[in-house]
Structure 1
Amino acid sequence: MGSIQHTESPVATAAPGRHAPPATAAEPPPRREVWLAAWPVTAVFILSNTATPLYVLWQRRLGFSSGMLTAVFACYIVGLLAALLVAGVVSDRVGRKPVLLPALALGIVAGVLFATAGSIAALAIARLLSGVAVGAIVSAGMAAVTDVAGPERRRLAALLASTAMVLGAGLGPLLAGVLSEALPGPTVTVFVVEIALLVLAVLVVARMPLPRPAGPRPGAWVRVPSVPRANRVHLLLGIAVFAPGITSTSFVLSLGPSLLADLLGTSSRVVAGATAFVMFTAATAVQFAVRRLKVAAILPAGAVSTVGAMASLALAVHLSATPLLALAAVLAGAGQGMGQLGGLTLISARVPAARLAEANAALNVGGYIPAGLLPVAVGYLSDAVGLSTGTTVFSAVVATAALAGGAVVAARRRTAL
């Protein structure tokens, strides 16, 4: 384990002329402190998907194609991946707060840009900045939850960090859908609310009792995040299931509203937001449901769920069946949730604390690269051959990847899990 000292906690000193009391082991913090530490993760992930049901409004107002819509979505992935190249390493070397506070500030700027967007360029920049904020949060924010929880509660920390991510991802589009239908300023009001939530997250981070690294370590500050050689197999097994799962949910987020409008005959922003919310509620619920299972059982179940999601998605577009699209969303959420929980649990249990934020970044790089590339490719393919054909191709590719990932995990479960 890396040498880490707690410099932000108060230290008692002995009165003059008296001997200092004997040192005692630090007690773990109250459980509520661990839950509170997960709030910044939730707040930033609310921002990450708030725009989902609003794209149809911007698309109508600004006039851009499905391909351009997925390209705007991909700006988020670009920002996220760029942050992952830096945030994990910086967080492990200089501390969590110097990464978290600027990330939350960028999230606030992104919220302002979304609320005032009058062009595709403004939307793209807002998505880029929100991606940077998310990339920093999945590196430093999730590691901060583990730091606050302490070594005795690492499994709880992995569960809370993972569920905070997917819960926020689901709340964002639901809030946007409801507020845009119920209140004036359909593309403004929800971002005002989100800015207030991010300000609360700043206050939470400011008071966190977070550790700081003992000293500098050698190596590049900007690099592809990695883990120690002994932990590479654990990272790869997590990515094998997490990547297809998050790719399937990314498709629902980027093209789900278009599917609802073009194939299933509804343009309701509440329905679009509720679909995303149901997807991520499933991702949250399934993690609590399987939290006591071994990782060797969680990861294969995640792969099976993603395969089922892709089969349901393909059938939904060919049969124009809303219930099948809802089922696809639920299964995709469950697939991402189990892949994410399994991967984070492996990392939290096996990777040294001094490399934990970088390991979180590495897991997310492995997941978000296909999650960014495949939906964009399908968006442009759908412009050429139709949304139904494009969705079918996407479903086949992701299902094949999930099957392969599940097979790899099954083959290594006795030796690596």
Structure 2
Amino acid sequence: MVSYSHQAECIGSAPREWRIWTTALLVMAVFVLSNSATPLYVSWQQELGFSNGTITLIFAAYIVGLLATLLVAGQLSDRYGRKPVLFPGLAAAVLACVLFITASSVATLLLARLLSGIAVGVMVSAGMASVMDVGGSARRHTASLAASVAMVLGAGLGPLLSGILGELLTRPLVPLFGTQLLLLASAFAVAGSLPRRRVPARHNEWRLRMPSVPKVNQMHLALGIAVFAPGISSTSFILSLGPSLLKKLLDVSSPLVSGGMACLMFLSATGVQFLLKNRSIRSQFLMSTASVFLAMLCMAIAVWTSTVAPLVLAAMLAGVGQGLGQLGGLTLIGLHVPEHRRAEANAVLNIGGYIPAAILPVCTGFLIDYTGLAVGATSFAVILTTVAMIAAGVVSVKLR
């Protein structure tokens, strides 16, 4: 087996680090697309006439596509190389952009979000694994940081760009997703520059199975999922229902405000990773769960007092929770999981995180439709706080 790590070792230290961040741009380009639609949900809702529950279903279509892709993308990437998986994922992102531009029905939005999820599923398995491969064994921490930062920074830049264009233009879709297409063109170029790995076929490897990791790494993944899941569930809720919360709390429907809040959330996730990258994984995990707890407390205060400041603070704290949980989980994978199972391990981590991130916001969206904003949002906050505190207890025991 020809290893990416071996090829990376042949490159000098400075060029290798430059290449790590260049490869991370591949991940960022697709994640810019992942949340670009967030500030536009209210406009589509008014134009097409659908409920809060439908908004969360549109958001969840993205996670369905992501989860379905994660079931196979990591295994295919580990077996046949990164490029054969990356290129179809990028093609799905291009098609999603076209559908968003021409969207005139809920069905089209659902399909566009589904394809966005497929593209992101490829990135969090094969894309992030590519970043780790380029880093090699000597720069695992840098590669983990680059992959995680690329994800959250892209996820934040998307809604900010969407919000700015939505505020300035009456028809922002073509400029917004046209810009996305230019970013994806650069991603194709980065993917094409990756080294090619040839893997000798073995009979028992040709059959797909549920993603898994070696038994010795199962606890590493379990700890990562336990902390990453509450963090990404909190950001998913704010992404899907944040614009509706702003409209109901302050009668604010500006795409710039909702996009700016989403961007601030992910900038918090990015900044905290640089700030705390040298802390122990245990510390990162515990601070992640504490941030989720505080985020849910602030969100409950916002909906019961009808004030926006606690909601913005909740978004920032949710970003911190996701960023630190994600960084800790990826670092565990980079340090302990063998290279030939790394993309599959990334898939397992994200499957475990995104399942509750899909189910809880969707259930909350429909609960809000039936019981009201305060009861629905508070119920979500209580559930997620409980899960985060349980995760903190497990981490405290297992990572001493």
- TM class by shorter chain equals over 0.9
Equivalents in 2 of 1:78, 1:41: separation in Å? 19
Q: Is the 8 A contact 1:224 1:362 kept in 2?
A: no
Report whether the alignment pairs 1:192 with 2:190: no
* Match 2:310 to one of 313, 324, 334: 324
Q: Is the 8 A contact 2:298 2:313 kept in 1?
A: yes
Q: In the TM superposition, what is the alpha-carbon distance from 1:7 to its structure 2 partner?
A: 12
* Match 1:260 to one of 232, 246, 255: 246
Equivalents in 2 of 1:376, 1:291: separation in Å? 33
* Match 2:103 to one of 110, 117, 120: 117
- Superposed, which structure 2 residues align to 1:7-406 within 5 Å? 27-28=12-13, 29-216=15-202, 218-219=204-205, 221-406=207-392
Mark the runs of 5 or more structure 2 residues left unpaired by the alignment. none
Aligned residues: CA RMSD: 1.8
**Residues 261-317 of structure 1: CA deviation (Å, up to 9, x unaligned):** 012221111000000000000000000011011111111111111110000001111
Equivalents in 1 of 2:142, 2:365: separation in Å? 38
The alignment partner of 1:188 has SS state of helix
**Residues 361-400 of structure 1: CA deviation (Å, up to 9, x unaligned):** 0000000000000000000001000122100000000011
User: CA 1:383–1:7 in 2, change beyond 3 Å: closer, same or farther?
Assistant: closer
In terms of fraction of residues, the more helix-rich structure is 2
Q: In the TM superposition, what is the alpha-carbon distance from 1:196 to its structure 2 partner?
A: 1.1
Output the TM-score relative to the length of structure 1. 0.93
User: CA 1:248–1:339 in 2, change beyond 3 Å: closer, same or farther?
Assistant: same
Equivalents in 1 of 2:326, 2:108: separation in Å? 31
Mark the runs of 5 or more structure 1 residues left unpaired by the alignment. 11-23
User: CA 1:326–1:26 in 2, change beyond 3 Å: closer, same or farther?
Assistant: closer
Q: Is the 8 A contact 1:93 1:217 kept in 2?
A: no
Instruction: Give the % identical residues.
Output: 53
Q: Is the 8 A contact 2:5 2:136 kept in 1?
A: no
The alignment partner of 1:154 has SS state of helix
**Residues 229-285 of structure 1: CA deviation (Å, up to 9, x unaligned):** 000000000111100000000000000000000122211110000000000000000
Report whether the alignment pairs 1:4 with 2:2: yes
The alignment partner of 1:211 has SS state of coil
User: CA 1:214–1:181 in 2, change beyond 3 Å: closer, same or farther?
Assistant: same
**Residues 349-372 of structure 1: CA deviation (Å, up to 9, x unaligned):** 000000000000000000000000
**Residues 112-156 of structure 1: CA deviation (Å, up to 9, x unaligned):** 000110110000000000000000110000000011111110110
Equivalents in 2 of 1:178, 1:340: separation in Å? 28
Equivalents in 2 of 1:30, 1:111: separation in Å? 32
The alignment partner of 2:217 has SS state of helix
After alignment, is 212-221 or 160-169 more displaced?
Answer: 212-221
Q: Is the 8 A contact 2:35 2:239 kept in 1?
A: yes
Q: Which residue identity is paired with 1:144?
A: S
Q: Is the 8 A contact 2:5 2:137 kept in 1?
A: no
Output the TM-score relative to the length of structure 2. 0.96
Equivalents in 2 of 1:221, 1:159: separation in Å? 32
The alignment partner of 1:108 has SS state of helix
Q: In the TM superposition, what is the alpha-carbon distance from 1:217 to its structure 2 partner?
A: 6.3
Q: Which residue identity is paired with 1:101?
A: F
Q: Which residue identity is paired with 2:225?
A: I
User: CA 1:220–1:376 in 2, change beyond 3 Å: closer, same or farther?
Assistant: farther
Q: In the TM superposition, what is the alpha-carbon distance from 1:186 to its structure 2 partner?
A: 2.4
Q: Which residue identity is paired with 1:30?
A: R
Q: In the TM superposition, what is the alpha-carbon distance from 1:218 to its structure 2 partner?
A: 2.2
Equivalents in 2 of 1:192, 1:217: separation in Å? 44
Q: Which residue identity is paired with 2:228?
A: F
Q: Is the 8 A contact 1:162 1:344 kept in 2?
A: yes
State the aligned residue count.
399
Q: In the TM superposition, what is the alpha-carbon distance from 1:337 to its structure 2 partner?
A: 0.3
Q: Is the 8 A contact 2:249 2:308 kept in 1?
A: no
Q: In the TM superposition, what is the alpha-carbon distance from 1:189 to its structure 2 partner?
A: 2.0
Equivalents in 1 of 2:169, 2:20: separation in Å? 35
Q: Which residue identity is paired with 1:79?
A: G
Equivalents in 1 of 2:265, 2:72: separation in Å? 30
Q: Which residue identity is paired with 1:313?
A: M
